[in-house]
Amino acid sequence: MNQERVHTASPDFIAQANIKPDDYRRMYRESIENPDAFWTNVAKRLDWYRFPTDIRDVSYRPDDLHVRWYQDGRINASVNCLDRHLAARGDKTAIIWEGDDPSKSERISYRDLHARVCRLANALRNLGVKKGDFVVIYLPMIPEAAVAMLACARIGAPHCVVFGGFSPDSLGTRIADCSPKVIITADEGLRGGRPVALKANVDKALQRPDTHTVETVVVVRHTGNPVNMQSPRDRWYDTLVEGQPAVCEPEVMDAEDPLFILHTSGSTGKPKGVLHTTGGYLVHTSFTHEVIFDLKEDDVYWCTADVGWVTGHSYIVYGPLANGATTVIFEGVPNYPDFSRFWQVVDKHQVTIFYTAPTAIRALMREGEAPVAKTSRASLRLLGSVGEPINPEAWEWYHRVVGEGRCPIVDTWWQTENGGILISAIPGAIPQKPGSATLPFFGVEPAIVDNEGKVLEGVAEGNLVILSSWPGQFRTVYGDPKRYKDYFTTYPGTYFSGDGCRRDADGYYWITGRVDDVINVSGHRMGTAEVESALVAHPRVAEAAVVGFPHDIKGQGIYAYVTLNAGEQPSEELRRELVAWVRKEIGPIATPDHLQWAAAMPKTRSGKIMRRILRKIAENAPEQLGDTTTLADPSVVQTLVNERLVR
């Protein structure tokens, strides 16, 4: 190992760690050599109505594709996150809520959370929601988001959480995909002091004919600003749960019954509803949460993600609560009221474990050390990173400035499809190298394949695949089994992640980013095709091509090339209009950073846009354009290079 760049946890950290340096290799070997025994043992961490004996039933063969874990087990996720903690941890804080407004916070005990979940679960049953019915959740980062997810889990209604930053149209598409009877939303969200019109967005989404299945909209009173309430469809959350019993008989679920779907972006088409089931998902999220975050009974754990993303599902709600941990739900943003906010919240609630995204670290790094240094952060003992590759400079800053050299960093690689972490350091056991997600978690068999699918051994670079299954793996793409199959047919017999990856001489994995048409903007996954289809939906646009380009803070930015309809003239005003249009169509996270007019696109003779070329122009690397002789009209390229927006 190149010693300068390796960070090993301190002897003090290792002495108290759950997993010691010698444990990792032994446990990993056991998990691979005898997976059934290993995962039987791990499943004992949960409370089952019927403990499973059929541990794994998996085939990646396209003609017989199926992934099943613990299929004869019976379990309820909300019981595991709530009821089973009541005896020993009833008064322990389950959720610390920190509002966008720094003067607002709340602590909710396991007993109180259990009662709130039961009341809402009863109310949902009264509204006619039965086992197997979908419920859409479109909420800000308030305790009701976790309450709503767990209430659905209690009655066996799979939830579909939609990120509160999504537009009415993006919300409508997701509603149409799962046909819920009920939506749970709030009057407004609040971020950085600015209201977000959630209820008004729901109203707009419900004007679409394909969202007619919604019978009831449950509205949490959050900011208290007036909103339009349509009777009898719209019901206030507080009056609905008032008077409901604080106990609720849970639905006994099969391990393989759906727990939720969550939409994520692919390289083509509309977002995919990634489906997760109950038993395996909860085993995987709770186990990884305890091992990778070295969880102890007294920890105060804070993951800054939004519950609208998978990280929020697995590592704000299900993993931590299944473990009886104290989990922080933060409504705000890192720079409001100022750039010290994260660290003020750490001090206020004495956070011990802090898990965030590289984009936040880079944005804070740009503000210098002073906003960090004026806070104590003495409570912190472990840091985590997720969502995109973390560049070594940001890693070192996070380690040295935020953690004052005392806290190990776990760089956790995984995806919506994976349910939970697959590649990460275990802080007391695996030395860290800045920029590397390090080694596979127990039971996970990554491999690197070349473009022909040949498995590469030793030091290698190529496409990251996983050879076998793990309990938290997704079970299908809801309503679209063909797109599920696609994951297992690119490199037959393996799950293909869509990521590029390098493995070094120590066997460490270095994720290099997506190799498909998915881009990662501030840790948010987006299909370039989604942004393109928003652009071409504008009446003056003929064609659009969107690529990612390296961005200092966001990791990747959005670079759009637009060809206008014949007779239309480019103008600054139209450029601004198109940028605003995309924001409105998809949501602010999809706002293009650059929009370049393209009189024509570089196309192959068969009419395919050559994105490789557009990527190089957006990266300001015109000298790397490579072979352009297959283009129908090579002169197009020179114009695009001359007019490029990044230099």
Site residues for ligand 6R9 per CB under 6 A: 264, 309-311, 385-389, 411-416, 437, 497-499, 511, 513-514, 520, 525
Q: Is 629 labeled as ligand-binding?
A: no
H-run or E-run covering 97 = strand 93-98
Q: Is 438 labeled as ligand-binding?
A: no
Q: Is 74 labeled as ligand-binding?
A: no
Instruction: Report, in Å, the least distance between residue 614 CB and ligand 6R9.
Output: 20
Query: Alpha-carbon dihedral of residues 143, 317, 268, 486, nearest 10 degrees?
Result: -160
8 A C-beta contact, residue 482 and residue 498: no
Q: Is 525 labeled as ligand-binding?
A: yes
Q: Which is nearer to ligand 6R9, 359 or 412 (CB)?
A: 412
Q: Is 514 labeled as ligand-binding?
A: yes
Q: Which is nearer to ligand 6R9, 476 or 563 (CB)?
A: 476
Instruction: Report, in Å, the least distance between residue 72 CB and ligand 6R9.
Output: 30
Q: Which is nearer to ligand 6R9, 159 or 525 (CB)?
A: 525
Q: Which is nearer to ligand 6R9, 184 or 390 (CB)?
A: 390
Token digits for 544?
A: 């659009």
582, HSE (Cβ side, Cα atoms, 13 Å): 29
Instruction: Report, in Å, the least distance between residue 424 CB and ligand 6R9.
Output: 8
Strands 594-597 and 74-75: unpaired
Closest CA to 636 of 571, 542, 563: 563
Q: Which is nearer to ligand 6R9, 465 or 578 (CB)?
A: 465
210 DSSP assignment? G
**CA 594 from centre of chain:** 25
Query: Alpha-carbon dihedral of residues 67, 73, 77, 81, nearest 10 degrees?
Result: -120
8 A C-beta contact, residue 238 and residue 221: yes
Q: Is 541 labeled as ligand-binding?
A: yes
Instruction: Report, in Å, the least distance between residue 389 CB and ligand 6R9.
Output: 4
Q: Is 107 labeled as ligand-binding?
A: no
Q: Which is nearer to ligand 6R9, 375 or 489 (CB)?
A: 489
Q: Is 412 labeled as ligand-binding?
A: yes
Q: Which is nearer to ligand 6R9, 117 or 422 (CB)?
A: 422
Instruction: Report, in Å, the least distance between residue 307 CB and ligand 6R9.
Output: 13
Instruction: Report, in Å, the least distance between residue 195 CB and ligand 6R9.
Output: 26
Q: Is 607 labeled as ligand-binding?
A: no
8 A C-beta contact, residue 331 and residue 164: no
The C-alpha angle 392, 393, 396, rounded to 5 degrees, equals 85
Q: What is the DSSP string of 384-437?
A: EEESSPPPHHHHHHIIIIISTTTS-EEEEB--GGGSS--B---TTTS-B-TT--
Tokens 């600015």 correspond to what residue?
194
Instruction: Report, in Å, the least distance between residue 363 CB and ligand 6R9.
Output: 17
Give binding residues for CoA as ranges.
191-194, 311, 335, 522, 583
Give binding residues for Mg(2+) as ranges.
536, 538, 541
Give binding residues as ranges.
191-194, 311, 335, 387-389, 411-416, 499, 514, 522, 525, 536, 538, 541, 583
Give binding residues for ATP as ranges.
387-389, 411-416, 499, 514, 525
